[in-house]
Amino acid sequence: MDNNEYKINWKEIISFVLFCIALQLYQSNINIIHIITKFIILGLLIVWFDDYLKLISSTIKLTKKIRNKKYFFVTEKGYISDIIKRRMLSKKFCIIIYIMSLIISIFIIFIKPNIIKNIFFNYIYIILLLIASFSIIVFFKNYLTNFLYYLIPWIIVIETIKYENIKLIIIFLTIALISYSILTLLWPIYSLRKISSKTWLFGFLVTFLVTIVFEYIFKFYINEKVQSELFFNYYLVELLEQQTLPSEVVRFLKDNPNLLNKFEKILISYELNEIYSKISLIRFLILSSYSIGKIVIDLKIKLGELKAKDIYNKIRKSENVQYSDLRDCIFYGGKEYEDKIFTNTSFESIISKKESNFKKCDEATYFKIINKLGDSLLNFFKKFI
């Protein structure tokens, strides 16, 4: 293990301590202390400015390399190097976004509270929160591909359920389309292939079962609970006595409790129908969202296959086949074109020779565990065939 891995970074420690001191000093009402605080913050920004620019520069360079598929190795199982570099890129992107948000927040805080109360700065704060939330999704996109596919509609439905039904449907489906489109652009095409028809079917079954369970919970718990406690009659009659209703009407209701019971059942049925209607709407929206996501993802995969077909036709006609064309063909076309290329011994030789000179990332521990577990299960089931 490298001894420098755990080397203490005094610059980070001192900067953190000074930043905490500055925040503590800013709570004082003395002007001179406020000035000292601003100088500390300004000094920290100047000290870290060069590092921040280097971080942005390295992120841009890494983005270009990933887009040019410099870490996508055909002979590497699971494309570990490409995934690790994409996760590194996501981490750098999050750091850049949070530092930028922190700088803007500090700038707003030091402007004085009177300006902060302006509605314009409220919008800035909301935008910063949205950007921070988006950066979290970007960070996890290379870890939890299928999970994000399932999670997106549930997040949207929580935020949009307060709107009227027609307006809700339009808003929800629009946001779902935009969200899946953005993530489809961010995900590499080999990750999108993990979201198959089985993924959609699993989401359909889980959503259907969860909403059915909620319906039964409301039906058997709320309905039975409310009907078993006959508190409604007492409070209703007491309320009517306080109103300017004729005493004959109140007496009639007291003498006919069954009428109130029927009225109570009607109200309960109405409330339950409202709840069932909302659950059905949620079910429709989530299933529609999964379908939209699958259509968007399949569209990118189909476009990738068309691109792979063009590259493959170019390879077959070429006398001097390039490694980059073989790699790109497999990247866009997936398993089908990988099999086509590796059946040609000369193509396989070009790839093996080229990638043997590349430095690949070490496989992470959890990758090793997952791969070994997958291989063990596969070998176990093969015994029964």
The CA–CA distances, whole Å, from 267 to 41, 211, 263, 274 equal 61, 23, 6, 11
pLDDT at 225: 57
| Per-residue pLDDT reduced to its tens digit, 230-260 | 445 555 555 555 555 566 666 666 666 666 6
Predicted TM-score (pTM) of this structure: 0.57
User: How many angstroms separate the CA atoms of 146 and 150, rounded?
Assistant: 6
The four Cα atoms 125, 169, 189, 332 give a dihedral, to 10 degrees, of -130
pLDDT at 200: 81
How do the domains of the chain map onto residue ranges? 145-306
Q: How many CB atoms lie within 10 A of CB 44?
A: 17
Report, as ranges of residue numbers, the positions in the chain whose pLDDT lies below 50. 1-6, 116, 229-231
SS3 195: coil
The CA–CA distances, whole Å, from 362 to 30, 121, 227, 370 equal 55, 46, 64, 15
DSSP for 109-149 reads: HHT-HHHHTSHHHHHHHHHHHHHHHHHHHHHHTTT-HHHHH
pLDDT at 229: 47
DSSP 209: H
- Six-digit token pair at 295? 């259509």
| Per-residue pLDDT reduced to its tens digit, 179-212 | 888 888 888 888 888 887 788 888 888 888 888 8
Q: Is 344 exposed, middle or buried (0-12, 13-18, 19+ CB in 10 A)?
A: middle
